Amino acid sequence: MTALTASTPRLRLARFRDLTLVPVIVLLLIAGAFLDPTFLTAGNLTNVLQQQAAISLLVLAEALILISGKFDLSLESIVGMAPAIAVMLVVPVSAGGFGIELPGLLVIPLCLLVGALIGAFNGFLIIKFQLSAFIVTLAMLIIVHGLQLGPTEGKTLFELPESILYLGSALWLGLPASIWIAGLLFAAGIAGLAYFRVGRSLYAIGGNSDAARAAGIRVDRVLWGVFILGGTLAALAGVLETGRLGAIGSNQGVGWIFMVFAAAVIGGVSMDGGKGTVLGALTGVLVIGLVQNLLTLKGVSGFWQPVVYGGIILIALMISRVAGGKAQD
Amino acid sequence: MKLGPVAACAALLAVVTACGSSATPSAGGGGGKVGIDHPRADSDFWNSYMKYVPQLAGELKVDLMPATNSQNDVGKLVSNVQALTGQGAKAIVMAPQDTGAIATTLQTLENKKIPVVTVDTRPDKGKVFMVVRADNRAYGTKACEFLGEKLGGKGKVVQLMGALSSINGRDRAEAFGECMKAKFPGITVFDEPTEWEGSKAASMLQTRLEQHPDVKGVYMHAGGVHLAPTLQVLKQKNLLLPPDDPKHVFVISNDGIPQEFEAIRKGEIDATVSQPADLYARYALFYAKAAIDGKTFQAGPTDHDSTIIQIPNGLEDQLPAPLVTKENVDDPNLWGNQVK
């Protein structure tokens, strides 16, 4: 009985921990409304959501991987490489393709497949081969980006099949499709981690993988699945980003991983595994998107933007630390 | 610790000279090998440049060593240059994207009496034989004059800037801003620091159009990264209209890649400043060969429509960068019309 009564308040505290950034978001919305009249309009907020849709999928993927106690840096390279390879399999040589010219409708499935394969390879090296996740995915970050630069010879792919542009640029019920997609996937992530057995097992593995194994969880299989899912989500992020930009530049996705980690950590996801929620990670992405938007609206000088931007991330981190009460790791 | 690399270099040098001993005397008409380092492999402009180099080396009879690539990293550039000189380069062609950090390398090369031609950027310090570069300030000024005239001296324009840590981004941004202030004070300029990133450019332009739906002009610092995102945002806002439509947004770009020409033909953008990738390659090799042959140059106009100016650490040949509009977009002499 004592154990039960003791666990109830701790559970509640854990719930609040996910939402520590909500006051930050409210503060940003209020401050933003005073700073610029455009900020709090439906149009502008929709834009912010659309601009963050692709990176939010990366944050979702990274949150799942971090919660299960692993690490994946290579996600950012998949964002550019997977769509680039998929497009090159489809478009003719004159548009920079391989000359295989598969049907245009296959481009999104191919892209997701490439992402999944990279995730599976990461998983193989980390789980079966027992290599350090940090260094494996660091190497993969470089290799995967190289696998985009090599075949494209660094060129931007301008002529894309319509099907890959659709998701990133279409409107569904008045909102950009990418917002719906990101929203649905986050909802699935939140529900999956809270109520489903596989989802709960990520926390168990991230907290203590030996204990999880002893408790009958198929640790390797679940972890491998998480890496494959992560790669696939990163490839989908690449599809959304490609649709938004209308071309695949050779540095698409490069440098995102820092923002992804910043969003996940200020959202309460622990770098040591076992702690954090998908909802928290979502609030982290929103904070970063709103800050970026506000800096653009106010026309903060390009020389000083990084300072202001980094400073606001630090402040958000401190607020989430104070509000969350626990030491961050 | 210092001896390791030296010994390795010496060993390498011995091997190289041993292997090449029969070939060296007969190689090339210039009497010396030219080492070349390319700055990056991920931009459309530089990829075109890299394609021109071996082609023009054949034409100009330059004995070119296999090119190295420093991938936008000045540290790699320094080691590549060491390797090239170790392999017997008598002149070096490079394009340091960090114009400050290359100073010591230039100093070392000067001590070894190896002339250096830099392409696209002007090093802040250190002797150079020649800087081959278009006048990037002129890009900004041309863009300002074009947009100013099209807008009749009033309205709002967005400037999608390159990285302000690069001299080319800074030159374009400063010249554009100064010209707007001096010649078209009625125009409001919004500066967007996109860091040469398409993703940032799309977000910033979208946000600015939400805030100021009456923006009438866009200046893109680099067509390679800014073109597709800009068109995509304008399309989404239903602003991709023909030039005679009163709601048309005037767009001027820099670079001169084939996709920009295509967009000009379609009426989606209005103009671009063609940065001459072919001339960069041609004159970089020309001056490298001339340096080996012991020729010297003075400030003043040249035979190829450019002007050599004196800079504190050497000379700079400022190549012409033509403005391309609907009228001259099909000119076969533009490099963007020659690549495939």
Q: Which of A41, A156, A252 sits opposite B44 (nearest CB)?
A: A156
Q: How far apart are CA A20 and CA A1, in angstroms?
A: 30
Are the beta carbons of B199 and A245 separated by less than 8 Å?
yes
More confidently predicted of A200 and B26: A200
Are the beta carbons of B224 and A305 separated by less than 8 Å?
no
| Residue among A49, A76, A142, A155 with most chain B CBs within 10 A, to mutate | A155
pLDDT of B163: 85
Are the beta carbons of B203 and A51 separated by less than 8 Å?
yes
Burial of A27 (0-12, 13-18, 19+ CB in 10 A): middle
Q: How far apart are CA B75 and CA A302, in angstroms?
A: 26
pLDDT of B60: 93
Beta bridge partners of B132: B119, B317
Q: How far is CA B18 from CA B6, B24, B28, in A?
A: 18, 10, 18
Please give the structure tokens belonging to residue B208: 């600015």
pLDDT of A329: 58
Specify the range with the lowest mean pLDDT, choosing from A26-35, A195-204, B18-27, B183-192.
B18-27
The complex's ipTM? 0.83
To the nearest 10°, report the CA torsion of A8, A12, A14, A20. Answer: -170
pLDDT of B339: 73
Residue A5 pLDDT > 50: no
What one-character-per-residue DSSP string does A14-66 give?
HHHHHTTTHHHHHHHHHHHHHH-TTTTSHHHHHHHHHHHHHHHHHHHHHHHHH
Is the domain covering B24-128+277-320 a CATH 3.40.30.10 domain? no
| Contacting residues of A for B203, CB less than 8 Å apart | 47, 51, 292-293, 296
Chain B residue closest in CA terms to A304: B193
pLDDT of B154: 94
pLDDT of B10: 46
Chain-centroid distance of CA B258 in Å reads 16
Q: How far apart are CA B333 and CA B243, in angstroms?
A: 25
Q: How far apart are CA B16 and CA B8, in angstroms?
A: 12
pLDDT by residue for chain B (340 residues), tens only, comes to 444 444 444 444 444 444 333 333 333 444 789 999 999 887 778 888 998 999 999 999 999 999 999 988 888 999 999 999 999 999 999 998 878 889 999 999 999 999 999 999 889 889 999 999 998 899 999 999 999 999 999 999 999 998 887 788 899 999 999 999 999 999 999 999 998 899 999 999 999 999 999 999 999 999 988 999 999 999 999 999 999 999 999 999 999 999 999 999 999 999 999 999 999 999 999 999 999 999 999 999 999 888 999 999 999 999 989 999 999 999 998 888 887 6
Beta bridge partners of A227: none
Are the beta carbons of A250 and B43 separated by less than 8 Å?
yes
| Contacting residues of A for B205, CB less than 8 Å apart | none
- CATH 3.40.50.2300 in chain B, residues? 24-128+277-320, 136-274
Beta strands B155-161 and B215-220, pairing class? parallel
pLDDT of A325: 64
Q: How far apart are CA B132 and CA B325, in angstroms?
A: 25
Q: Are A83 and A238 in contact (CB under 8 A)?
A: yes
pLDDT of B24: 36
Tens of pLDDT, residue by residue over A49-89, are 999 999 999 999 999 999 999 999 999 999 999 999 999 99
Q: How far apart are CA A159 and CA A104, in angstroms?
A: 12
Task: Tell me which architecture the domain covering A12-324 has in CATH.
Answer: Orthogonal Bundle (1.10)
Query: At the topology level of CATH, where does B136-274 sit?
Result: Rossmann fold (3.40.50)
| Residue among B190, B203, B233, B260 with most chain A CBs within 10 A, to mutate | B203
pLDDT of A326: 65
Shortest Cα distance, chain B CAs vs residue A158, angstroms: 7
Shortest Cα distance, chain B CAs vs residue A216, angstroms: 44
pLDDT of A95: 87
The pTM (predicted TM-score) of the whole model is 0.83
Q: What is the pLDDT averaged over residues A19-45?
A: 91
| Contacting residues of A for B192, CB less than 8 Å apart | 296, 302
**Quick one: pLDDT band at residue A14, thresholds 50, 70, 90?**
low
